Amino acid sequence: MELKRLNKAISETGYCSRRAADKLIENGSVKVNGKPVGLGVKVTPSDSISIHGQIITVEVEPIYLAFNKPVGITCTTDTKIRQNIVSYINHPERIFPVGRLDKPSEGLIFMTNDGDIVNKILRSKNNHEKEYLVTVSKKITSSFIKKMGNGVPVLDTVSDKCLVTKVNDFTFNITLTQGLNRQIRRMCTFLGYEVTKLKRIRIMNIALGNLKPGSYRSFTRTELEVLNRSISGSSKTEEASKRKR
């Protein structure tokens, strides 16, 4: 059976990050098969992991959902936060968002219980496309489209070149492979435009389509197969962090 580091096994349940898991292990809050354990322990899928006496490893089929996040919902697993995405969906199983959309934005976000696929998708260097439909406060010029596509200063860096096309006088389509915080809004602000509506309509091979706000659907078998093929060579978090050092 596959052996996995305990902190990784905990993070893949969506309970917390690996770093937070290490702290829980260090302070004795974690048990494996009812016994206290230390850092560096490896577990198998059949092992029972509990935190503060609560078992977090229950055999559940992988869940992959496409959710149309409405404006006003916060992408967090912290259920103490009002209008959090987990409580809003109220799924019977423990699921968590892949990445985030800021509160004023809407559109497609993945929800899953598969931590491994989360790590692979979120690696920014994997160049996974995310497509948005953006409405701004004043008429779009050809200069604006060109500058957005060539990259503008954002958060002490310059955004990567990207595909930007004009839809109408106030709306444009943009496809990013970066994941900078509030990237599109910051790019527009730098060029003197205010975003009035931002909607993500595609992540990689999966499109929002006609999914209504607040609704979700499972990935189709074909969607999941294509997605898995596209991330098969993706760097996992631990491997990539080693290369950064």
Task: Check 102, 114, 116, 169 and give the catalytic one.
Answer: 102
Distance, in Å, from the CA atom of 134 to the CA atom of 199, rounded to the nearest integer, reads 6
Annotated active-site residue 114? The verdict is no
Q: Whole-angstrom Cα distance, residue 65 to residue 98?
A: 10
> Are the C-beta atoms of 64 and 75 separated by less than 8 Å?
no
CA dihedral of 208, 209, 211, 214, whole degrees rounded to 10: 30
Write down how long the chain is: 245
Among candidates 203, 202, 184, which has minimal Cα distance to 194? 184
Q: Which residues are catalytic?
A: 102
